[in-house]
Structure 1
Amino acid sequence: MNHLSLIIKREYINKVRNKSFIIMTFLSPVLMVGIFSLVAYLSQLNNDSIRTISVLDESGLFVDQFQNKEHVKYNILTNVELSEAKKISEEAEYYGLLYIPKVESLDELSKSVTFYSEDSASLQVMESVEDAIEGKANALKLKDAGIDAERIKELRIRINAKQETFQGKETSKIGSILKLGFGGAAGYLLFMFIIIYGNMIMRSVIEEKTSRIIEVIISSVKPIKLLLGKIIGTSLAGITQFLAWVILLGIFSFVLTSIFNVDPTTVQSPQQEMLNQSVEGGTQEIVRNLIIEINNLPIANLVIMFLFFFIGGYLLYASLYASIGAAVDSETDTQQFMLPILMPLILSIYVGFFTVIENPHGTVSQVFSYIPFTSPVVMLMRIPFGVPIWQQILSLVILFATFIGTVWFAAKIYRVGILMYGKKASYKEIFKWLKY
């Protein structure tokens, strides 16, 4: 084991002292914060712009529906033809022209209203314009039918069913979103960690192989110890870099918000703004449900299992990346071997988002949460929905047992492939190496 600790130390020190490693450790958070800040700044500029919309209402029914807002101003046109209204709006460089023709019945109105603009109007603007007309049109339609629209509003009942488990725990609709959010974030983090640092291990093996340093090392160290040492050493370097990113991101974000008064969290899409407006009245209820769902989450179970599945999943894939590095002479030769490794990862993400959220305890979800190449992602997405401890432990046992078996197979490939030069390895050839 002394050799193993020396290899781990060597790999770790070589990685953290590497110039590109140091540069990317400091540069990546700067770039991330810079990009989010730029998007936030541009979004803020976009939100601060005032859009002027001219309204030509020949019916005279909807003029009072268009009230000026913070970022939208309405210019009501009267006694002008449509062609003249278009010309006025174009010359004044208005955002658009809303044309409401005079129609014989309200039923014709839905097909007659037109919005003219230089380019396609934004979804948010069209939604607000349509809502303004629709509300008044429906009220007039009810009035024509002899029905009091206000009375209907008063009589309308909205059902918001409470949700409880059979054991009496209170839940809510927002719970599924919260659980999916945690599972999705955990799965995506593992996915990115495997891609970034798995490639780092593979490149490290290729570099040592092409420089012939490996020939000296392999004479005094068993292949399996060398393989494990590279995996663990590079993994520790990756964890160090990841922790440095978290700390630096926090520092840079604080400096940016306090000194330059730019908040990256202010970035909002039009869809998010519309959603915020729709839930504005029920904010307290949403916050209450959110607190309930957070309290219902098995936080300790989530954290512990996240660490185990994260470590197990990464080590499993890292051993495969190392074996690929040993089988080839350059990075360009790795492409034929990458797809079988990436496919289970991509599949696990799709299964997680399209199956677990719909039926976390269904057959498909359960099967993929036991398959070691997909379980780190799928099981992490299932746990927030309540998975028995024995199932989690069984999945972990299968995962780490597969890792041990994979390391054994990878070491056999590593032992032969690390000394093979000048010949592209094929799947048939690698299968032969396993028999040596």
Structure 2
Amino acid sequence: MNHLPLIIKREYLTKVKNKSFIIMTILSPIIMIVLVAVVAYLSQLNNNKVRTISVLDESGLVHEVFKNSDNTTYNILEGMSLEEAKIFSNESASYGLLHISKLDSIEAVSDHIKFYSEESPSLTLISSLEGKLEKTFTNLKLEQQGIDVDLINASRIKIDIAQESFEGEKTSKLDSFVKLGFGIAMGYLLFMFIIIYGNMIMRSVIEEKTSRIIEVIISSVKPVQLMLGKIIGTSLAGVTQFIIWMIFGGFLMTVVSLVLGIELFDTTPPQQELMQMASGGSDFGFYFESFKAALQNLPLMNLLFAFILFFISGYLLYSSLYAAIGAAVDNETDTQQFLFPIMMPLILAVYIGIFTVIEDPHGTVSTVFSFIPLTSPVVMLMRIPFGVPLWQQLVSLLILIGTFMFTVWFAAKIYRVGILMYGKKPSYKELIKWIKY
């Protein structure tokens, strides 16, 4: 008689009715949103604070450059010595004092600029000041050499190389970052899901084994059915928990944003200023449109189906190994020697995906590791946004499914013997003997 549906139901209900499962399902999104809200609130308080910066420009070259903004006020000091300016800035509770010395040449002046402050100044603030001064001194140097700065600025030509495939599909350099972001998100999600819920399966097997309940269950259920039931039941409980986290977390995020008036993922003004300076004052609307175009270029349907298939297959592959480890040992302490060989391919897959896919998604290293079953769920998911031929995806998936079936057989052999073994930590040599039984 096939008891698999009953085992799946039992495992699922046991997990979702567990008090710790219920508490963590509710508390996890609350804790996460509270932490994000606190950080966002503190950042908002910091951003709303107006900084007053005293400027002593003894050279008389750049004091007109400093214009007040919403978060920064510049106090131009005149007729003071450096020591007097320090005392004034300190007594007036200024954020700091920017001192520009008076020297013979622009190069000498640029080498003698100092910022005095009570504490270490903000990195974004210093970078912003450096950007303003660098641009101003560069223009002054050009004018000193008799070069028309306006003519140079008018002569600047911005190059943005258009990218297009031989089939006529248009892309941009932003596409690569968007595709890599999607790939990393999917690969990392699978990585975390395997670690969290794979360990849950392993602990479940160890608990039933140590409580001797398994001796009663195994008398009427085949070991392979029991193992698959645990894997599928725990997986469904994990999916349920994940869906609740997404819905509840999204609801809490909306409530916090509306009630407290906090933008939880808003970019801070100093960061915005630094980004705009780094991009040469480019129009952010252009980048936003490029980002939308990059999203439209993603093979969304392919990503969706591939994510589901590789996610399920990869998770089941690793879960069967976790279940076998749980059956082979009596406590979690003894699992460490067996977990390391399992974790290594996962960690390797993440590193391969991050450091090789973006540079050469169709190269030998990326392609080979996207076919190796223990790494393919992560690496292939990172490659697909870059356009992987369908036949490669199907071959990789078939190899993964075939390996999963072999792993289930392999794990069931260990599970069948190890589930009734007590009081001794097995070695790799003994595990090989169990497979032969």
- Fold conserved (TM > 0.5)? yes
C-alpha offsets along residues 304-359 of structure 1, whole Å, 9 cap, x if unaligned? 00000000111011111111111111112212222111111111111111100000
Match of 2:302 in 1: 301
Match of 2:342 in 1: 341
| 2:153 counterpart of 1:150 | no
State how many pairs are aligned: 436
Match of 1:22 in 2: 22
Match of 1:431 in 2: 432
Structure 1 residues 272 and 352, CA gap change in structure 2 (3 angstroms):
farther
Say if 1:329 and 1:422, in contact at 8 Å, map to a contact too.
Answer: yes
Mapped partners of 1:370, 1:387: distance in 2: 12
Aligned partner of residue 333 in structure 2, secondary structure = helix
Structure 1 residues 145 and 169, CA gap change in structure 2 (3 angstroms):
same
| 2:82 counterpart of 1:82 | yes
Structure 1 residues 87 and 69, CA gap change in structure 2 (3 angstroms):
same
Match of 1:186 in 2: 186
| 2:196 counterpart of 1:196 | yes
Structure 1 residues 272 and 176, CA gap change in structure 2 (3 angstroms):
farther
C-alpha offsets along residues 234-293 of structure 1, whole Å, 9 cap, x if unaligned? 001111111111111121112222223223122549546522565664233223322322
Match of 1:233 in 2: 233
Match of 1:359 in 2: 360
Say if 2:328 and 2:414, in contact at 8 Å, map to a contact too.
Answer: yes
Report the AA paired with residue 307 of structure 1.
I
Aligned partner of residue 264 in structure 1, secondary structure = coil
What is the TM-score when the length of structure 1 is the normalising length?
Answer: 0.97
Say if 2:29 and 2:248, in contact at 8 Å, map to a contact too.
Answer: yes
Say if 2:56 and 2:99, in contact at 8 Å, map to a contact too.
Answer: yes
Mapped partners of 2:123, 2:253: distance in 1: 31
Match of 1:205 in 2: 205
Mapped partners of 2:19, 2:53: distance in 1: 56
Aligned partner of residue 266 in structure 1, secondary structure = coil
Aligned partner of residue 22 in structure 2, secondary structure = helix
Aligned partner of residue 341 in structure 1, secondary structure = helix
Mapped partners of 1:66, 1:326: distance in 2: 69
Which region of structure 1 is more displaced relative to structure 2, 255-264 or 73-82?
255-264
CA-based RMSD: 1.6
Question: Which residues of 2 match residues 114-133 of structure 1 at below 5 A?
Answer: 114-133=114-133
Report the AA paired with residue 308 of structure 2.
L
Say if 1:171 and 1:289, in contact at 8 Å, map to a contact too.
Answer: no
Say if 2:174 and 2:291, in contact at 8 Å, map to a contact too.
Answer: yes
Mapped partners of 2:302, 2:272: distance in 1: 32
What is the TM-score when the length of structure 2 is the normalising length?
Answer: 0.96
Report the AA paired with residue 375 of structure 1.
S
Mapped partners of 2:375, 2:269: distance in 1: 33
Structure 1 residues 273 and 200, CA gap change in structure 2 (3 angstroms):
farther
Match of 1:10 in 2: 10
Report the AA paired with residue 403 of structure 1.
F
| Segments of 4+ moved more than 6 angstroms | none
| 2:181 counterpart of 1:215 | no
Mapped partners of 1:246, 1:390: distance in 2: 33
Instruction: Using the TM superposition, give the Cα deviation of residue 434 of structure 1 relative to its aligned residue in structure 2, in angstroms.
Output: 1.7
Question: Which residues of 2 match residues 32-431 of structure 1 at below 5 A?
Answer: 32-266=32-266, 268=268, 270-271=270-271, 274-275=274-275, 281-431=282-432
Mapped partners of 2:379, 2:276: distance in 1: 31
Mapped partners of 1:226, 1:200: distance in 2: 15
Query: Unaligned stretches of 5+ in structure 2?
Result: none
Mapped partners of 1:185, 1:132: distance in 2: 37
Report the AA paired with residue 427 of structure 1.
Y
Aligned partner of residue 39 in structure 1, secondary structure = helix
Structure 1 residues 59 and 276, CA gap change in structure 2 (3 angstroms):
closer
Structure 1 residues 424 and 268, CA gap change in structure 2 (3 angstroms):
farther
C-alpha offsets along residues 119-145 of structure 1, whole Å, 9 cap, x if unaligned? 222121111211222222111111111
Query: Unaligned stretches of 5+ in structure 1?
Result: none
Mapped partners of 1:102, 1:267: distance in 2: 37
